[in-house]
Structure formats: structure tokens, C-alpha cells
Structure 1
């Protein structure tokens, strides 16, 4: 009888132990499912946050995109336009840097600087053609007068000197040595050019001198025979 009771007790313990094990497994399963559900929810929330952030950035960029694409213009066209503008800005920057570099340069010996050019006044006299050739050999040309300020600067040399103006190709059609026709301003002395005036022997005055010895600065041009000897002024644009 005692053995039978002990056997029943043991079986009852085993049943209770199995029930406890089932309960534990059930709790663990529920806990695992709950944990997985929490991870999924967290990942979903992170994805939603990322989506919201991207959407916000897209909405912020959209007005800029619309401006750049000029109300519907194709992106490639906008890219091309921006490329052209970039290249233009780069060119302007390079030009400014070049001019800045020039400003820092020192004139060679015998030259004077005024604004963006260097000027050379000869110490000897020659005809107009030979004078121009000398300038060309110096990497310059006979001076081209572009403004009253430049005219007054040249006047300060106080010499009767050739400038780069002639009508040797077509009588009366005055042109500078770079081919630019003379329009305005011009700085002829009173009654000039006169192509030699009333004296037929002088009627071949196709070159221009700057007469700084007797005339006023802004009215100091005079036409002369190109064969006469004068000082000359070279100009090098730098």
C-alpha cells in the first residue's frame, strides 16, 4: 500500500512538473513574439521617420528645382545654361586676374604707364613710316588716342610727335593704325586737317602729329607729310 501511494505521488509530481514546463514554454513564446513585435514596430517607426525626412527635403528642394528649370525647362537645358554662365564667370575672373597682374607690373626702362597702357617717347626723329616700324619692333604701335585724358597725358611729353593716325589709304578717311576709323572725339587744331592748305607743294599731308609745343592739349593734332622727321610715341596695351 505504501508503495502504491508513493507511486501516485511521483506521478502527480511528474504531471505538475510537465504543467510547469508547458507554462514556462508558453510564457517564453509569448515573450519572444512580443519582443519581435516590438522590433518590427521600432523598425517601422524608423522607416517612417526616414520617409518623412526625405519627403520634407524633397519639398524644400522643389521650389529651387522649379527656379533652375525655369518653369518647366528640361534639366539638361538648365545644366547647359548654368555651364555657360559658369564659363562666363570664369572668363571674367581670369580677365580681372590678368588686369590685376598687369597693374602690379613695372614699366620697362624708357616707358611710362598711364591707365592700362605703356608709352614710349623716342629720343630721335624719323618719318612716320620708320617711326611706326620702330614701335612694331618694340612689340607696340604708334599711339591711338581714345580719350581727352589720354590726349592730355600725351601732351605732357612736350614734343611734336607722330601718333598712329593716317589717311594714306583713302584721302580724307582718317584711320588709326589698328584700322579703326576716326569718329569722335578728335583733337584737331583749328583749321586742321588742311592737307597742306593753299600751297600745292604741301598737298600730301597724310599723317598726324601731336603738336605739344604751341597748341593747347585738346586741340593739338596737325596733318603733315609722312616724310617729315618727328619724334614718335609708341603705345603697348597691357
Structure 2
């Protein structure tokens, strides 16, 4: 017996047994034109619809021949609109009967008991927590350990109570466009959201089990401030340099001095700089120059400037070397408004990364 017929033969005998035919009466598997009785593989079933289709066994076992009308193609799943499946009366039923349009309702896939629903809910929550942890590990939240057991009470956007983890606080911060950082005050079960990034732990208040996270999204690296509401990513550099050196440092990072082209950005910058004692000690170089033509201020990319936040009495429009911009803290009531200054002065600077 060939391998193909060896695999088919037990199936033929089982079908005969179901039909009530003695197994001994089942003739060997033969082709119609092989009088020697040598077994051969059964040819594959022809595809397509047929008014009369014979089973593979009917060639060698005529008594089990069946006539079906409207038999679909092999592999075709019955759908509404297909012709009904009929079996010729009086024919032994070898194959289990098929009801194409069963009225029996489909049983539910799982038990809908309260215990099962509670288990499913726990699995969903576990997946959410695992996904949140992956988000933070991937860079959506960076824990600033220097702020452990410290919290700040200034520049608070909002608060959410009954929150048990810092991960949850970071996820909630992600939903607030203006949120830049968040404290998780574990003793209070409280998330405290801020629109600035604090830089001086010594400015805060002591509270045990408090953690601080900065929000990191998209291409804005750790240590930078990402205000998603203004779509700006930047970093304050608290080391005094000449204008050319600060600009060179920004350029080496693939960045440029920060562009402030609206009142909203100016207000945000002032709020960020004044949020920490370490960052409000000196003035900052920002983007903007009239070195090419005195009095005509342009950004680093050649765009003309249309928004200005000048300090009283500025710009001075001196013709020698006073052709770069600073956000200055010299005048207290106009803190971090702009002045045209000399590039050889040493100041802090702010680099911006384009998103």
C-alpha cells in the first residue's frame, strides 16, 4: 500500500463503521482502470460547485455513494445566501449532518460570572500598569532623584488626589498639554502638576516619600523643558559664556539659541527662569541679531523678527557691537525683558531643539 492510501484507508474503514457496514466488506482502495488491485493514491477532490458529487470512497464502495445538491467548494464557509444543503433520502449518512441555518443560539465564549469579570478587569489593569512602566522606561518620564522627599508649592497647574503611584502621575501629566513636570506626594496620595521644570531642590519643602518626574516626549531629550502647548523644547545652560561660545555649544548639539516669537513664549520663559533660584541669577543670550543691518532684527535662519519684549529704554541701537539679544534681569520690575547687548559679555544661554 502506498503512503497516500495508507493514510486514507483507516478513514474509509471508520466511515464504513459509522454507516453500519462491516469493515470486512470494505474493498481495498483501487483506481477504476487497475484490474490488478494495486492501491493508488486518491486523486484530490475537484473544486467548484456540482449538482452531484461523489465522495472519495464511492469509487470503490458504491453502496456508500451519496448525492448532494448545492455542495460548496472545498474550504468555502457557508454564508447567508448560499443554497441549502440537501442529502438524498435513504442514503446512509457517512458524514455528520450539516445545518447551514441553525436556530440554536451560539454559546458565550466565556463565563460571564462576577468572578470571571473581576479576573478580566484585574488582567486589564495589570496590562495598563505594565504598559505605563514601559512608557516611562522608554523616556516618557524621568525621575529626578535630587528632589526625593522634596516638593514645590509654586507654578502649580492642578492636583489630582487618590493616586497611588508615580507612574500614574506621569500618565496623567501626559494628558495635560501644559504639564512639564509632576510631583507624586505619596503620603497625600497626590499628583501635583507643574508647567515648569524645577532646578533647585533647596527651594522646596521637605516631605517624606515624595518623588519628582520631568516629562519627556517625542524628540525632546532628558534635562530639557518640553512645553507641548507651545511646541517648544529647550534647555537652560547655567554657565556664563560669551555669545559666540554659547552659540557654538548650541550648534554642536544640532540646536540654536532659543527663538521667542510670541508673548506666550516670553511669559513661559520668564516663568521657567524665575521658578528656581539657580536659574534666575543672571541674564540669558537668546536668538536674534541686527549685526547685518542696525535696527533690523532677524532670527538665526534669516526670518525677520516681529515680536519684541524690550526693557524700558531699549533697544539702544548702538552702532558698535551691541547687536545681540539678551533676556535681562537688570530691571527688577521688568525682569527678563530684552536688551541689545555686546556679544563679548558673559551670560547664561538657552539652546532650543527643533521638533
**TM-score normalised over the length of structure 1:** 0.50
By relative contact order (CA 8 Å, sep 6+), the higher-ranking structure is 1
Select the structure that is richer in strand: 2
Q: Tell me the TM-score normalized by structure 2.
A: 0.34
Which structure shows the higher helix fraction?
A: 1
**Who wins on radius of gyration, i.e. which is larger?**
1
